[in-house]
Amino acid sequence: MPRITDINSLLFPVEEHPVFVGIRTESGERRLSVPDKKAIVNAKTSRVLGVVSRGYRLVTNQQALEWANQCCQTLFPETKPGEWEVNASDAPGTGGHCFIDITHNSTALDFTFVAAKDRPDAFGPFVRVTNSYNGLRALAFDIGFFRKVCRNGMIIPDSIIRFKFTHSKEDIGEKINFEISQERLSKVKNSFNDYFNALRDCKIGRPKFDPMLRGVLKIREPKKLKPQSPIAEDWEILSLKINSLCDQYAKEIGENAYGVFNAITDFASHPPHNRCVHREKHSFQRLAGDWLSKFSQECQEPNFKLVSYLEKLDKQDDNEGESSSNVSNNFNSRPRS
């Protein structure tokens, strides 16, 4: 199913409706109310987006977007409202949940990691808001940074600033108070220097780019590929795309872990429609961020060996690292109504 990438298509009206079940009796069919449930419905198409509990706090995508802009203003008070804009939107075709990225459109918040003589990469902050109408995802506001030359979004789980709220009336009031010390925000920003310097110093030959990208993003070759089958053709197309990205960044940035990282984040931010791609952009970007924070430390260990690392990467469980990225180190905030 095609994904929704236009912000205007995500701002459809939604309504809450009671839920009924039909039962057959000797005299016909009866409708019984389900008192502890309600349906969230797309008022434009009459499609049911989710069946949730009575205590579910509905937040429209429009309201979530307004709060995201408030988050930008609170965390970066030196900016003006008109300087923030929607840069990317992503949602499944059902519209049951969505991710919206808001970026700063000037250079006022830009920062670089190397001296100008070394072709500096300009990075800027973005705020990603996550919202859902089916109760499967919390309302969340994640602070990330992106490489502005190619708009590669990044989220760093070990250092991230995240405001997260369950869709309940107890957790979400009429207002949200985004509180964070500027000292902590500055610390998160400065930590990127350490990450990227470590990646630039870690030499990785071009032949290792492809298996590392596939390993980090958990892209596995399908088992028992039948020649000329549709999935075999898709795997070949996907392999060629990955090879092309790796060639691009090995030439542009160099044969080091920073080149690999940019190939990874480029793919994560623009995943193709392919039978062998089973994750959405948000999941890929979290995997990329999780890898950055971990690998930048691991590659500096005295006994680090790339061959052994790739073997370990290839054997790791597909779910490893994703569930943990939402807990422990995140900065959680509760609303004040």
Same domain, 36 and 113: no
Question: Which residue, of 131, 159, 189, is where some domain finishes?
Answer: 189
Q: What share of the chain is helix, strand, coil (3-state, %, to 5)?
A: 35, 25, 40
- pLDDT higher for 108 or 310? 310
pLDDT tens, 236-272? 999 999 999 999 999 999 999 999 999 999 999 899 9
d(CA 33, CA 20): 4
Q: For residue 80, is it within any domain?
A: yes
Same domain, 182 and 206: no
Q: For residue 334, is it within any domain?
A: no
pLDDT tens, 16-37? 999 999 888 878 788 889 999 9
Q: Number of folded domains in the chain?
A: 3
Q: For residue 2, is it within any domain?
A: no
Same domain, 65 and 134: yes
Q: For residue 144, is it within any domain?
A: yes
Same domain, 176 and 68: yes
Same domain, 233 and 307: yes
pTM over 0.75: yes
Same domain, 280 and 297: yes
Q: For residue 262, is it within any domain?
A: yes
d(CA 307, CA 314): 11
Instruction: Please answer whether residues 50 and 133 qualify as being in contact, where contact means their C-beta atoms are separated by less than 8 angstroms.
Output: yes
Domain range for residue 309? 196-324
